[in-house]
Amino acid sequence: MDEFDDNQPIYNGAGISVKESLFAILSFFMVHRLTGLCLNDLLALIALHCGPNNPCLKSLYKFKKYFKMIGSNFVTRHFYCSGCEVPLANKGSICEHCHGRHNVSFFIELPIVTQLQSMFRRPQFYESLGYRFNRVKKNHANIEDIYDSNIYKENAQNGFLANRNNISFFMYFDGLSLFKSSSFSIWPVYLTINELSYKLRTRKENAILAGIWFGKKKPNPNLFLGPLERQLSSLKINGAVMVLPDNTNVLIRGILLGAVADLPAKALFMRFKQYNGAFSCSNCMASGGRFDLGNSTVQVFPYFRDLELRNNNDVAEFAEQAVAARRVDPEASVYGIKGHSILSVMLPNLILCMALDVMHGVYLNVLDTLIALWFDTKYSGMPFSISDCVKLVDLRLKSIKPPSTFQNLPRSIKKDLGHYKAFDYKMFMTLFFACTTR
């Protein structure tokens, strides 16, 4: 177990590592309160499906030894009342609000510092954090990485990141269903280190799994991110000592500079209205309006040349007003804000530091609509339709030879449009603009 590589795939070509598999099994074991015998059989069953000579842990003894090796304090369970969603001291605590009418649930916190210490022990990891000082830009005017953002520049020039030993993180969160037919979902929170090159920071072994929420209900964002906020606050103020491969010590401090999620998760964690409601945009103050489709309505946002952008300084005031309004109406909001978000404390600027969801905001909600309007034969009588040109478009798509950075070749609109995914729409838009701007 001492030389066990938990970053290897569970079988050759698998999309999940041994470490990820073990934490998923651990979550499944705790949520469903399995017996030790059941967990032992589950481990053996999973290993049986992964082919010969796989690195899966096949017994309860090895499973326990693995987590003991990581450290008994590596996983922290935070208990809370499942109905009132207030924190509880331990599993046996009784909620003061409902007097124990609801079950006690928990979510998992994983220490950031412990994972960082493991990374810094690797050869060349500390040196690779100097990438930002050595990178060569393709064009001085381009925005090519996070280092070109105003927030990063402010911290790097004379601020927190002027110290080479200080680092910054980007946070990712989303929910995923374990089974398509089940309402049970898992919400992991990951951190990546901005000071690594993009190639290195996106590798699995350099990603930090900071927490996991699981259950049939969506997470309470302030409750869920509370322990993470305390970890990051300590790392920013006090820092942590890292031991390098040559046994020298270095004090590392870190801050959170940005976060990204899809539109539903972004609205949930920012405490904003969903994207299909009034004032739901997190970047501007447009209220939008309802458009009648006959059998239903949809929220639309007409184009205006001069939109009023959101001001981060107003967020706290609107949140306070929303808290007061929701005492009367639980569904109330003020300019789309439902209440205080802990992200306002964690990020330098809640409005500017929450990344846009280009997948749902462009590829799967704008471009797919445009392509359907252009090529679907049911719109053939409309002046914007070019459905009679679909063969020509497919021919030209087929003739394009994209660079190696593209994972797949362009797909036929006539044959494959019903199977298009976000990546296909992204490729179409990229190639379209590349051809029209020559």
Q: What is the pLDDT of residue 74?
A: 67
Cα 435 to Cα 400: distance, rounded to the nearest angstrom? 10
Q: How many helices (H) and strands (E) would you count in the chain? A: 18, 11
The residue written with tokens 């679907």 in the block is 376
What 62-70 contacts at long range (C-beta under 8 Å, 24+ apart), as own/partner pairs, is 62/1, 63/22, 63/25, 63/39, 65/1, 66/1, 66/4, 66/6, 66/22, 67/22, 67/26, 69/1, 69/2, 69/4
What is the model's pTM?
0.78
Instruction: Count the helix, strand and coil residues of the chain and give each as a percent rounded to the nearest 5.
Output: 40, 15, 40
User: What is the structure's pLDDT at 344?
Assistant: 95
Higher-pLDDT residue of 278, 363: 278
Q: How far apart are CA 216 and CA 365, in angstroms?
A: 27
Cα(362)–Cα(325) distance, integer angstroms: 33
Span 198-216, pLDDT tens digits: 999 988 889 999 999 988 8
Residue whose pair of structure tokens reads 């051809």 in the numeric block: 435
What are the distances in angstroms from CA 64 to CA 1, 220, 319, 363? 11, 30, 45, 44
Residue 107's nearest CA partner among 78, 83, 81, 82 is 78
Contacts 24+ apart (CB under 8 A), 159-163: 160/236, 160/253, 160/255, 161/255, 163/253
Q: How confident is the model at residue 276 (pLDDT cuts 50, 70, 90)?
A: confident
Q: How many residues does the chain have?
A: 438
Q: What is the pLDDT of residues 138-169, one digit of tens each?
A: 888 888 899 999 999 999 998 999 999 999 99
pLDDT digits (tens, 9 = 90+) for 37-68: 898 899 999 999 998 889 999 888 888 888 76
For the cut 80, the answer to whether the pLDDT of residue 4 exceeds it is no
Residue 71 has pLDDT above 60, yes or no: no
Instruction: With cut-offs at 50, 70 and 90, classify the pLDDT of residue 182.
Output: low
pLDDT at 362 over 60: yes
Q: Are strands 249-260 and 166-173 parallel, antiparallel or unpaired?
A: parallel
Sign for the pseudo-dihedral over CA of 253, 344, 150, 148: positive
What's the pLDDT band for 31 if we cut at 50, 70, 90? low
> What does the pLDDT read at residue 436?
58
Q: Chain-centre distance of CA 399, in angstroms?
A: 36
